[in-house]
């Protein structure tokens, strides 16, 4: 009887339609692409930068700088903004395509490799970049070309630009007395003049870190990844995420500058 019941249960299961795969959530997309980590180091880096870059050694200035940076560059809040921006533009079809890759064996391996590097400290990332440069020095031209196709500059530019804007805000505030009005047009003009060289440096480091992250992937596997990245859903994800991140960090830097200027007005350091 037990065997009959078991056989009957299997018959019922076989007659049922196959379950539909759950559409990948934006949170899962963020984790799979390490987009959930992109704001984690930015705030702490800006917080420490005033002293590291010797913008000012004044204790009051450094305290206000650190407090203002922590408030303006709130990693979890910025991440929530990015999630909302992607929720608004990625359709169910987009997420189905993204899920098909990121839930595959290769997609999971690539996500794990990218997160390994993304979660390293700044110093550890520099060490990894040096290892990546060593790998690139003996890599075939085809492999280097693959890394170039994956190495997209848009998001790198956004973070480099806003990091430099924050530094110039610090120099402007530290040098003023009385009521401080930030010279945003002059700051932005200086940043744009430096952007070509700054972007090149950032992309060179990014490429080196990718060489390290993908070191265990074959050329064929990277070709599969590139084909996915150039498809409609992944292309939309990359474009929209870059645009949203640019807006988010730009607004955060403006808030940071205005708040720091207000705090330091009349302090005279």
Say if residue 20's pLDDT is above 70: no
* % of the chain beyond a pLDDT of 70: 90
Provide the pLDDT for residue 15.
Answer: 39
* % of the chain beyond a pLDDT of 90: 80
Structural contact between residues 62 and 224, judged by C-beta atoms closer than 8 angstroms: no
Between residues 15 and 81, the one the model is more confident about? 81
Say if residue 3's pLDDT is above 90: no
Enter the tokens of residue 240.
Answer: 């929209």
Provide the pLDDT for residue 72.
Answer: 97
Structural contact between residues 43 and 74, judged by C-beta atoms closer than 8 angstroms: yes
Provide the pLDDT for residue 13.
Answer: 36
Enter the tokens of residue 52.
Answer: 């590291």
Provide the pLDDT for residue 22.
Answer: 61
Structural contact between residues 263 and 124, judged by C-beta atoms closer than 8 angstroms: no
Residue 20: partners with Cβ closer than 8 Å, 6 or more residues away: none
Provide the pLDDT for residue 50.
Answer: 85
Provide the pLDDT for residue 211.
Answer: 98
Q: What is the DSSP string of 113-141?
A: HHHHHHTS-HHHHHHHHHHHHHHHHT--H
**Residue ranges covered by each domain of the chain:** 24-264
Provide the pLDDT for residue 5.
Answer: 34
Residues 24-77: tens digit of each pLDDT? 999 999 999 999 999 999 999 999 988 877 788 888 899 999 999 999 999 999
Residues 141-174: tens digit of each pLDDT? 999 999 999 988 889 999 999 999 999 999 999 8
Structural contact between residues 86 and 30, judged by C-beta atoms closer than 8 angstroms: yes
């Amino acid at each position: 009887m037990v065997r009959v019941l078991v056989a009957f249960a299997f018959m019922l299961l076989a007659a049922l339609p196959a379950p539909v795969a759950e559409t990948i959530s934006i949170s899962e997309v963020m984790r799979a692409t390490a987009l959930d980590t992109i704001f984690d180091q930015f705030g702490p880096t800006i917080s420490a930068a005033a002293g590291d870059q010797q913008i000012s050694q004044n204790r009051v200035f450094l305290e206000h700088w650190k407090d203002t940076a922590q408030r303006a560059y709130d990693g979890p809040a910025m991440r929530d903004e990015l999630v909302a921006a992607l929720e608004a533009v990625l359709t169910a079809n987009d997420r189905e395509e993204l899920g098909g890759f990121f839930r595959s064996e290769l997609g999971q391996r690539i996500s794990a490799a990218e997160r390994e590097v993304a979660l390293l400290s700044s110093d550890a990332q520099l060490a990894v970049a040096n290892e990546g440069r060593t790998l690139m020095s003996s890599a075939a031209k085809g492999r280097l070309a693959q890394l170039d196709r994956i190495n997209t500059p848009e998001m790198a530019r956004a973070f480099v630009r806003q990091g430099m804007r924050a530094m110039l805000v610090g120099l402007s505030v530290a040098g003023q007395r009385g009521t401080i009005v930030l010279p945003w047009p002059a700051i932005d003009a200086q940043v744009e003049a430096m952007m070509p060289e700054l972007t090149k440096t950032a992309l060179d480091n990014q490429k080196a870190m990718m060489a390290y992250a993908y070191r265990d992937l074959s050329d064929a596997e990277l070709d599969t990844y590139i084909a996915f990245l150039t498809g409609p859903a992944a292309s939309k994800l990359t474009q929209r995420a870059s645009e949203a991140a640019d807006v988010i960090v730009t607004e955060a830097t403006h808030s940071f500058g205005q708040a720091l200027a207000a705090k330091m007005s009349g302090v005279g350091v």
